[in-house]
A and B are shown apart, each in its own frame.
Chain A
Amino acid sequence: SQQGEEDPQALSIQEGENATMNCSYKTSINNLQWYRQNSGRGLVHLILIRSNEREKHSGRLRVTLDTSKKSSSLLITASRAADTASYFCATDATSTGANSKLTFGKGITLSVRP
């Protein structure tokens, strides 16, 4: 079953605009991660936020986590055509917290128009 549910399912924006993607999950988690996938290729890790963190930045990425609402958001600022990809949130909810079994959402398709 899917733990994470992203929304929107698809997002189309103009280059230079900001893109905001949301993820909701159902159970308590150890951490939440965002990954990017270009068509037909493997996933690339973008950012990880631990359950005791509320906000994290990495370059043009900003992720927030609200454990009370069981939700997270990923903001990509000043988007580029190269950001066009599918984005997935993934949660680690194992009792061991070993990050060895992630549950992924179905993904958001982001299209950035030049």
Chain B
Amino acid sequence: KAGVTQTPRYLIKTRGQQVTLSCSPISGHRSVSWYQQTPGQGLQFLFEYFSETQRNKGNFPGRFSGRQFSNSRSEMNVSTLELGDSALYLCASSWMGQGEYNSPLHFGNGTRLTVT
């Protein structure tokens, strides 16, 4: 089974621009989560989607948004980029049916975003 695939692997953007990151989950996984990792704040939860619906959201400004498609693939978008948005963005998928608890997350290798 192929793992979680994130594209692109690296991205360099300028302040004020917007960016879209893509994530393809493991086949059969319906839950996709996004995390931001920085040296200062560590790993922080952005949002989670299940069956095209956002189920949980972290404490990030509205510039950060996401969506999930019917094939479970997900995208996240960051608008009006700021220098502080430079980070490793990690996507994780999980097989998680309704009422199914305790399923581990499977992470992709991330997209390294640098904002200049």
Which has the most chain A C-beta neighbours within 10 Å: B33, B88, B104, B109?
A: B104
- Contacts A42-B107, A42-B110, A99-B101 given; does A104 touch B43 at CB 8 Å: yes
Which has the most chain B C-beta neighbours within 10 Å: A42, A90, A102, A106?
A: A42
Chain A: residues with Cβ within 8 Å of the partner, total of 28
- Chain A 8-50: CB-based contact to B (< 8 A → 1; otherwise 0): 0000000000000000000000110101000011111100101
- Contacts A42-B107, A101-B58 given; does A48 touch B48 at CB 8 Å: no
B42 to chain A, nearest CB (A): 5
- Contacts A30-B102, A88-B43 given; does A100 touch B55 at CB 8 Å: yes
Q: What CA separation (Å) do A8 and B56 show in the bound complex?
A: 31
- Contacts A42-B4, A43-B107, A106-B42 given; does A100 touch B94 at CB 8 Å: yes
A77, CB-defined interface residue at 8 Å: no
Find out whether the CB atom of B101 lies under 8 angstroms from the CB atom of A101: no
Q: What CA separation (Å) do A100 and B105 show in the bound complex?
A: 9
Find out whether the CB atom of A101 lies under 8 angstroms from the CB atom of B48: yes
Interface set, chain B 6-55, CB cutoff 8 A to A: 31, 33, 35, 42-45, 48, 50, 55
Interfacial chain A residues near B44, Cβ < 8 Å:
104
Interfacial chain A residues near B58, Cβ < 8 Å:
101
Find out whether the CB atom of B101 lies under 8 angstroms from the CB atom of A41: no
A94 to chain B, nearest CB (A): 7
Find out whether the CB atom of B110 lies under 8 angstroms from the CB atom of A101: no
Q: Which residues of A are interface residues toward B (Cβ below 8 A)?
A: 2, 30-31, 33, 35, 40-45, 48, 50, 88, 90, 92, 94, 97-107
